[in-house]
Structure 1
Amino acid sequence: MAHTIRDIAAALGAEAMGNLDLTVSRAAEPQMAGPQDLALAMDPKYADGLAKGRARAAMVWQGADWQALGLEAAIFAPRSRVAMAGLSQMLDPGPQIASGIHPMAVIDPGAEIGEGAAIGPFVVIGAGVRIGSGARIASHVSIAEGASLGADAMILQGVRIGPGVTIGDRFIAQPGAVIGGDGFSFVTPEKSGVEEIRGTLGQRDEIRQQSWTRIHSLGSVTIGDDVEIGANATVDRGTIRDTRVGSGTKIDNLVQLGHNVQVGRDCLLCGQVGVAGSTRIGDRVVLAGQVGVSDNIFIGDDVIAGGGTKIFSNVPASRVILGNPAVKMETQMEINKALRRLPRLAATVAELQKLVSKL
């Protein structure tokens, strides 16, 4: 769908100059842009790319001499990534799911489907499910009995939503996400080796046989409004109380949230984050890629954990952490510097040992 420069600028709340009636149909990198594209050149380093492309219009940095860049129209982006968010929303048509209910969907008679919902083929919806208005559900999705989705949900291919899961408005689930699978919770009749070494920090009196008994998950999952969950991410149901994800939180691909985990509002959990059971995470927490979080701990509001951090104990609010085990980021930087100096230090010690032996 084509949009005028005027309409795009108005939607973004941005200033525009030149031929505002010029239309564009998609966004493109500057060097690859054609006459019908809006080139994205929000930094002066992309000026050379504009010269290589054939764009007539571009989104440019504040103060850019758009006419000298050979453009007929320009939109000025005061904050480039925010402008990108608005522009991408305008240009993304979303999944192509025909309105109404596909004849190959299987929907229990007791389910409630909201007005304007679009449900694709091979979708299975169980008894007592409630689907909000305007929901879009792609093929091969299953929604188990008693689950509830708010308005304007977008559930993509192959998503699995377990029984009793409650989800707010404007929820997005990418392909393959599983919400409400059983929690990973097992116990041994006698004290297990894991319990023993937790208390002794590695010392074991004896090695003995043990077998595992499942603790069944009686809770479910509760998710707030405006939450997004990435492809193949998993959120386990709670043991007794629900696992919870607060409104506005965004969860990346391949993230695992264990049973009873409580995640606050507006958090960002990046790819391959793993959070073990019964951990509580505050509001606006950012966990970068491959962060691992131990069970039964608390992470305070506004904590930021750098990539690969391993968190084994409580973290106070507003702290920035890094490393394995997690420490303050500035401390980890000093540790890294010291590690790089170890070969030189070892050589110095070896020389000192030679001198001492001669003495």
Structure 2
Amino acid sequence: MMYTLSQIAQTLGRPVEGDGTIRFARVAEPAAAGPGDLALAMSPAYAEALHAGQARVAVLWEGADWRAMGLEGAILVPRARLAMAGITAALDPGPRMNVGLHPTAIVEDGAQIGEGAAIGPFVVIAAGARIGARARIAGHVTVAEEAVIGDDALLMQGVRIGARVRIGDRFIAQPGVVIGGDGFSFVTPEESGVEKARRTLGDQGEITQQKWTRIHSLGSVRIGDDVEVGANSTIDRGTVADTVIGRGTKIDNLVMIGHNNRVGEDCLLCGQVGLAGGSTIGDRVVLAGKVGVSDNITIGNDVVAGGGTEIYSRVRDGEVIMGSPAVKMETNMAMYRALRRLPRALEQLSELRRAVAGMTGGKRDDD
């Protein structure tokens, strides 16, 4: 498909510099861009690479002298990553799916399919499920009984939606997502070793045999509008109340959200984040890769947790934290610097002890 520079400018809400009628088929990095490409050089650091390429048109940083770069047209943008979002959205055709029901799909009696929906091969939609208008469901997806999926949803290959799950509009699930699996909740007839260790801070007492009995999940999962879930991530349903994911939250690949969690709006949960059960996450929280959240704690609004942080206790609104256990990021960095200095400090201490021993005739202070 061909695009004009003016079309992209209109998408970005920016004026066209030069010839807006020039057409291109794809975007490219500056040095690799040919005459039929739109070069993306939205920082002065890419100026030299742009000269190495053959692009006629480019998206540049605000204030760039596009004529001096030998270009015939340009779009100048103040915020590169925001511009990238608009450009990629305009040029991404998305998966190709034909509107209607594929002959191999199974739609059980009582299921409802919205107008303009595309249901791919080997999809199974159970009784009582409702699929919104213009939803696109790729091959081998399963939607269980009484689940509800809103308008304009995109479910990629192999997604599993459990019973009674409620999902809002414009939902995106990448391949392998599982929403609404049973929560990981078990109990023993008597107080378990885990419970004893937690109560006593480590002493299990007498070790006895114990057998685990499942606590079944009667709740489900409720997801707001404009939520995205990355490949192979899982969200367990609640024990009694629903597990909740707020509007606009974005979840990366390989994220595990346990039962009874409540995640707020516009959060970012990056790869390999894990939430144990029963915690409450505020709005606009960012959890970087491999962050772990303990069970039954509260994380306030606008919290940012650095990669690998392990959160065991309540976090107040707006805190920026890092480390294991989590502390304020500035404290964590000070601790890290101190740790790096520790070997040298120990050497200095050893030298000082030898010097003191020499001054006292070889006797130590505690002799």
Interval containing the TM-score (normalised by the shorter chain)? over 0.9
- Residue 14 in 1 paired to residue 11 in 2? no
> Secondary structure at 1:349's aligned position in 2?
helix
Asked if the contact 1:174/1:229 (under 8 Å) is kept, the reply is yes
2:247 counterpart letter in structure 1:
S
1:357: Cα distance to partner? Answer: 2.7
Within 5 Å, give how 1:176-195 maps onto structure 2: 176-195=176-195
For the residues of structure 1 that align with 2:161 and 2:150, how far apart are their CA atoms?
13
- C-alpha contact 1:261 1:275 (8 A) present in aligned 2: yes
Corresponding residue number in structure 2 for 1:103:
103
1:244 partner SS: strand
**Distance in 2, Cα, partners of 1:128 & 1:210:** 40
User: How many angstroms apart in 1 are the aligned matches of 2:34 and 2:208?
Assistant: 70
In percent, how many aligned pairs have the same letter? Answer: 64
After superposition, residues 194-205 of structure 1 pair within 5 angstroms as 194-205=194-205
1:112 paired residue number: 112
TM-score (structure 1 length as normaliser): 0.99
Question: How far apart are the structure 1 equivalents of 2:224 and 2:50?
Answer: 43
Provide, for residues 126-163 of structure 1, a one-character-per-residue CA deviation record: whole Å limited to 9, x for no partner.
Answer: 00000000000000100000000000000000000000
Structural RMSD (CA): 0.8
The corresponding residue for 2:260 is 260
1:157-168 pair list within 5 angstroms: 157-168=157-168
Distance between the aligned counterparts of 1:156 and 1:9, measured in 2?
A: 30
Structure 2 SS opposite 1:170: coil
- Separation in 2, partners of 1:141, 1:37: 36
Instruction: Please tell me whether residue 78 in structure 1 is matched to residue 105 in structure 2.
Output: no
Which residue is 1:222 aligned to? 222
Q: Is the 8 A contact 2:194 2:204 kept in 1?
A: no
Whether the aligned pair in 1 keeps the contact of 2:275 and 2:295 (CA below 8 Å) is yes
The equivalent of 2:43 in structure 1 is: 43
Unaligned runs of 5+ in 2: 361-367
**2:162 is the counterpart of 1:172:** no
* Secondary structure, aligned partner of 1:316: coil
- Return the alpha-carbon distance in structure 1 between the equivalents of residues 106 and 35 of structure 2: 46
User: Partner amino acid for 1:356?
Assistant: V
The answer as to 2:234 corresponding to 1:234 is yes
Residue pair 1:14, 1:78 contacting (<8 A) in 2 also: no
Note the residue ranges of structure 1 that are not aligned, 5 or more in a row: none
Deviation at 1:355, TM superposition (A): 2.2
Distance 1:121 1:36 in 2: 36
**Whole-angstrom CA distance in 1 between matches of 2:240 and 2:109:** 29
Could you report, residue by residue, the CA deviation over 1:93-147 in whole angstroms, capped at 9, with x for unpaired residues? Answer: 0001111111011111211000000011010000000000000000010000000
- How many matched pairs? 359
**Amino acid aligned to 1:263:** V
Query: CA separation in 1, counterparts of 2:169 and 2:76?
Result: 33
Query: In structure 2, what is the equivalent of residue 25 of structure 1?
Result: 25
**Structure 2: distance between partners of 1:119 and 1:70:** 48
Deviation >2 Å, runs of 4+: 355-358
Q: In structure 1, how many angstroms separate the alpha carbons of the residues matched to 2:284 and 2:252?
A: 15
Structure 2 equivalent of residue 128 of structure 1: 128
Contact 2:177–2:232 (CA<8 Å) still a contact in 1?
yes
Residues in 1 aligned to 2:34 and 2:155: alpha-carbon distance in whole angstroms: 33
Q: Which residue of 1 aligns with 2:363?
A: none
Residues 267-278 of structure 1: matches in 2 within 5 Å?
A: 267-278=267-278
Query: What one-letter code is carried by the residue in structure 2 that aligns with 1:32?
Result: A
Partner secondary structure for residue 15 of structure 1: coil
Equivalent-residue separation in structure 2 for 1:288 and 1:298 (angstroms): 17
Partner of 1:303: 303
**Partner Cα distance (1:12, 1:265) in 2:** 25
* SS across alignment from 2:151: coil
Describe the superposition over 1:298-317 as per-residue Cα deviations: whole angstroms up to 9, x where unpaired: 00000000000000000001
1:332 aligns to what? 332
SS at match of 1:190: coil
- Alpha-carbon offset, residue 281 of structure 1: 0.2
| Bigger-Rg structure (1/2) | 2
- How big is the shift at 1:356? 2.9
Which residue in 1 is equivalent to 2:67? 67
1:154 aligned onto 2:138 = no
Residue identity opposite 1:40 in structure 2:
L
Cα contact 1:146–1:165 (8 A) shared by 2: yes
CA distance in 2, matches of 1:257, 1:7: 40
Q: Is the 8 A contact 1:4 1:20 kept in 2?
A: yes
Question: What is the CA–CA distance in structure 2 between the aligned matches of 1:15 and 1:68, rounded to whole Å?
Answer: 19
TM-score scaled by length of structure 2: 0.97
Instruction: Write the distance in 2 (CA, Å) between the matches of 1:322 and 1:244.
Output: 25
Work out whether residues 242 and 260 of structure 1, in 8 Å CA contact, stay in contact via their aligned partners in 2.
yes
